[in-house]
Amino acid sequence: MARSDREEKGTVTIKGVDKEVYRTLVSLAKLWGKTAGELATQAFKLYLSITEAVGGAISGLGRALERAGDIISRTGLQVVSGIGRLELDKATLQAAEKPLLLMGIKRLAVKPDVEPELLKEKVMGIVDCEVVEVPPGPLMAEVLNKCRFVGEVAVLDEGEETQGQEEEALLPLLEEGEEEREQH
C-alpha cells in the first residue's frame, strides 16, 4: 500500500491533552471503526494542512493553529469523510451550502463538468485521500492547490469515464443473456 511507504507508526506520548477531548476522540474512533491513533493522525494532518493553507510559518504554529480553529468554527465547514469512492460533479458542488472539506476518501474522482473557479469557491481542502482523479486541463492546478497528504493524483482519461458508463449500461444486457441460456 502506498500509504505505508510514507507513514511511520509508533507509540507517541503527548502531555497536556484535554481528557474530555481525548475521550471524545476515542468514542468517535470506535463509532467510525478506526483506532484512536488513526483518528488522531487524521486530526494532525487536518490541522497541518489548514495551517499551511492559512500561511502560518513553523515559528508561528501556535497562532496559526488558533486561527485555523477560528476559521473552521466561523466558516462552518461541511466535512465529508470515510467514503470509499466519491464522484464530485458540478451539481453537487453548486448544492453545497458550506465549504467542503474532503477528507479520508479512498478514491475521489472530480468530474469534467467542474470548473476551477467553482472548486476554488466550494472546496476548502482535499486531505488524506488515497487517490484523486482529475480530468486533464486547467482544473488540475486548482485540485493540486487543495491537496494535502494525498497518496496519488491521477489524470482521468476521457475514455475511462465513458468506458465505465458503457460497462454499466451493458451489464443488464449481459445478465439477460445469461438468464436466457440457463432457460434453454
The per-residue pLDDT for range 127-151, each reduced to its tens digit, is 889 999 999 999 999 999 999 889 9
Residue 3 domain flag: no
pLDDT at residue 64 greater than cutoff 90: no
Total number of residues shown for the chain: 184
**Judgement on whether residues 61 and 90 belong to the same structural domain of the protein:** no
pLDDT at 72 over 90: no
Clarify whether residues 99 and 160 are in a common domain.
Answer: yes
Report which residue type is found at 49: S
Q: Would 184 be classed as within a structural domain?
A: no
Share of the chain above pLDDT 90, in %: 33
Whether residue 170 lies inside any domain: the answer is yes
Same structural domain, 88 and 107: yes
Is the domain of 125 the same as that of 161? yes
| Same domain? 128 vs 40 | no
Q: Whole-angstrom Cα distance, residue 54 to residue 158?
A: 34
pLDDT at residue number 7:
59
For the stretch 8-44, pLDDT in tens is 778 888 888 888 778 878 877 887 788 988 888 888 8
Q: Does 149 lie in the same domain as 135?
A: yes
Q: Are residues 81 and 158 in the same domain?
A: yes
* pTM of the predicted model as reported, rounded to 2 decimal places: 0.56
Query: Residues with Cβ < 8 Å from 38, sequence gap 6 or more?
Result: 29
Q: Is residue 122 part of a domain?
A: yes
Q: How many CB atoms lie within 10 A of CB 68?
A: 21
**Domain count of the chain?**
2
Write out the residue range of the structural domain in which residue 17 sits: 8-75
Question: What pLDDT, on a 0 to 100 scale, did the predictor assign at position 164?
Answer: 45
Are residues 153 and 109 both part of a single domain?
Answer: yes
Question: Are residues 15 and 33 both part of a single domain?
Answer: yes
